[in-house]
Amino acid sequence: MRIVKLYTTDSTNDYLKSLAKEESLEEDTVVWALEQTNGRGQMGTKWSTEPNKNLTFSVFRKIQQVTINQQFYPLMAASLAVKDVLKKLLIKDVRVKWPNDILSDKQKICGILIENVIKKGELNAMVIGVGLNVNQTEWKDLTRVTSIKSQTGIHFDLQEILNMLLEQFHYYVKMLLDGNLEAIKKNYEEHLFRKDKPSTFLRSNQEQFVGIIQGVTDQGKLILLEEDNIINEYDLKELELLF
Ligand code: BTN
């Protein structure tokens, strides 16, 4: 596996996407930066963390093995890999908050951003970007954020955690390639934050409502049970979980 380690870059997702446009990348090429100057999160948000203290990296995956109907599986694989590693490190109450956050003790410890690589006008590959809070213990202007060090009191070696994450990610990718999709989704749903509990959501038109998370679709929509036993499916732009 090729790991490109950078001291600084704007965003590892952007770096890997441009690399993929310039050259034919081997599967699982990883770009890891100790500092990002323009780290990006879901829905146009920023991902800013202190340099040298956290993991910010992106993995390149060809799209051919993943059908349109299985689009959400690489994200589930990445989320489960992070969840497993955090559990191995004895981080408490690790949950996956749909679609792309990992929480410990109801606080965000990791975010994942998956982006498509378009080559010659066609969907070619995916870039899976992971921001995991490792040794940072203070955040300006952010609440409900945590890190491995905040949870354990232990300072960790970034390379060691990266190796653990990549190994675990490969384990799930193999499951995915072997067609073991049900087991991946079952595992993801078992660790889904607030599954089977009445929760308050905010629609994009600012209306609040109560729903109970039932699971996710293969394309990544959240399945909610609502008033009058109605089941609805939502994508990320359509609602926010208030907690
Ligand atoms: C989110 O929680 O909104 C997703 C955050 C994803 C952050 C990672 S850090 C590495 C990669 N490069 C980026 O610019 N973003 C992702």
Q: Could you tell me the residue ranges of all domains in the chain?
A: 3-190, 198-242
Q: Which of 130, 169, 237 to mutate to test the pocket of ligand 1 (most atoms within 8 A of CB)?
A: 130
Sign of CA dihedral 179, 173, 114, 106: positive
Q: What is the pLDDT of residue 122?
A: 67
Q: Do domains 3-190 and 198-242 have the same CATH topology?
A: no
pLDDT surpasses 80 at 193: yes
Q: Which of 4, 13, 100 to mutate to test the pocket of ligand 1 (most atoms within 8 A of CB)?
A: 13
| Model confidence pLDDT, tens digit, residues 105-150 | 999 999 999 998 776 776 678 899 999 999 999 998 889 999 999 9
pLDDT of 132 reads 98
- Our answer on whether the CB atom of 100 is closer than 6 Å to any ligand 1 atom is yes
Residues 6+ apart with CB under 8 A from 191: 80, 83, 94, 95, 96
Q: pLDDT band at residue 64, thresholds of 50, 70 and 90?
A: low
Q: What is the Å distance from ligand 1's center to 127 Cα?
A: 11
Shortest CA distance to 21 belongs to which of 135, 122, 146, 108?
A: 122
Residue with CA nearest ligand 1 atom 16: 129
CATH number for the segment(s) 198-242: 2.30.30.100
pTM of the entire structure? Answer: 0.94
Q: Considering the domain delimited by 3-190, tell me its CATH architecture.
A: 2-Layer Sandwich (3.30)
Please state, in angstroms and rounded to a whole number, the distance separating the CA atoms of residues 195 and 231: 14
Of ligand 1's atoms, which has the minimum distance to the CA of residue 45?
3
Q: For a pLDDT cut of 70, what percent of the chain falls above it?
A: 96
